[in-house]
Amino acid sequence: MNPSRILIADDEHATCSYIDKQIKMESSIDVTVDFAYDRDEAMALLTGNSNYNLIIVDLWMPDAGGILDREAGLKILKHSKSRHPAPQAIVITANISSKTALEASGLGIYDYISKPIDYTHLINIIKGALNQSNSDALDWEPSSTAHSEETDAHEIVGSSNAMIEVMKKVGKVALSDVDVLIYGESGTGKESVAHAIHALSPRAKGPFIVMNCSAIPAELIEAELFGIGKRVATAVDQRPGKFQQADGGTILLDEIGDLDLAMQPKLLRVLDSKELQGIGMDVHRVNVRVIAATNRDLRAAVEAGSFRSDLYYRLKFMITLPPLREREGDIRMLASYFLNKFLRLPESGQIRGFDETVLSAFERYQWPGNVRELEKAVQYAVVTCTGNQISQEDLPPEIFSAPEVETLGLLPDRDTTPIRSLLNVPTIKDATQGFEKIFLEHKLKQNNWNVRATALQIGIKRQSLHRKIKELGLKRNENQT
């Protein structure tokens, strides 16, 4: 059998060389490798060689003249998909957005790899891509979905591994019509993800309607969702519900975990049949995609009897958003993104950037309010800053008041704390197990004891985490909210 052929397109020569070295160390991979160090060279190699089995592409590359093209990877992918047979594709990136994820996912890529590269993980992905028949790859057709101002207004920014995983799902989900559940702490950007899914979908020209399930009294929520007919009640006019308003588009049911228990079977019927009946109205069909969002552990709510299991399983296709404190490398990027946004304000003056002490403090701070809190902190600083750099004096004092370990509550100045007590255990096995217990309990609390979300965050299988919880005797405090 002839060896497979791989094209690596990356302007970093050292990266190309190291990937090649790692591939050659694998006896189970029989390949020949070509390299392209700019966009135009990659396009030329693809034109001249129709038998590549796999391409590995950096998203940001220069053209032949050395000018950086942030869409170089997408252009190379589109060109590769015009070849017959089309090669599998792996994308390497240090930066990704919902728009990029949509376009790349629409091109049928095999997987993403983030920088710095985990080469063991990359080799496993290469093996999988080469083993998958090219006939199984998606045929690509140019998308007719246009990027609107709505898309840009709700752009999701990040380069951490956790956010790359989110963006991969956003890109794929947007192209489908599946109903989606978005889970994450308050302020992590659930509504922005919902907006991005809608704006990047075939429904983008339809309405996007938001319904906060916790903001409407239980006795009024049925009319708000499904509408109310004429002369149903004194001094109440006929009006359509949120579902009718969203017909042809998307409805976001925010805080779905707070939906009144009596309303849940009625919502389930609409999800299953797309038929609804408002108060005093006839049954009629609607063409609506449902996106639900919550910061509650719905599985725990099912066990507690406050959320129906059939509705939970109907909404189980989930995107889990990581808290900002877990998005390594994203805080500076987000701070710059928000600064550029608010520099358009007339009161922004002559601000040119952040003092380094501010950015360092941003990275130490735990951001209990997540991305929303960071955005408001930057907005506050832009309004109050009188110089050309945002300094400590321009921000709320709590951001600078406590180092990270104090905020976590793990290492106050007492020798009786759990981590310090591990210094006194007799063996390294005891110390390892003790730290593992503290670590897992902390991560589970951060995720409201959502085992699936925690497993995804820390990089292990859900079954393995369940086994660890049992082995270590971890139990949820029922008083914890």
What confidence score (pLDDT) does residue 152 get? Answer: 52
pLDDT given for residue 480 in this prediction: 45
Q: Characterize the bridge pairing of strands 275-277 and 283-285.
A: antiparallel
Q: What is the pLDDT of residue 190?
A: 94
Burial of 87-101, coded b for 16+ CB within 10 Å and e otherwise, reads: bbbbbbbeebbbbbb
Domains identified in the chain and CATH numbers: 4-136 (3.40.50.2300), 149-320 (3.40.50.300), 324-406 (1.10.8.60), 409-472 (1.10.10.60)
- Low-confidence spans in the chain with pLDDT less than 50: 133-151, 235, 404-416, 479-481
3-state DSSP call for residue 53? coil
Query: Do 58 and 93 touch, CB atoms closer than 8 A?
Result: yes
290-326 burial, b at 16+ Cβ within 10 Å, e below that, comes to bbbbbbbbbbbbbeeebbbeebbebbeebbbbbbbbb
pTM for the complete prediction?
Answer: 0.66
Angle subtended at Cα 395 by Cα 391 and Cα 401, rounded to the nearest 5 degrees: 100
Radius of gyration of the chain, Cα coordinates, nearest whole angstrom: 25
Q: For 5, which DSSP code?
A: E
Q: With contact defined as beta carbons under 8 Å apart, do 410 and 421 qualify?
A: no
Mean pLDDT of the chain: 82
Return d(Cα 290, Cα 424) in angstroms, integer.
54
Among residues 89, 92, 97, the alpha carbon closest in space to that of 116 is found at 92
Phi and psi for 405 in degrees, rounded to 5? -65, -30
Which residue in 288, 200, 279, 275 sits closest to 246, CA to CA? 288
* Residue 274 CA from chain centroid, whole number: 28
**What's the pLDDT at 9?**
94
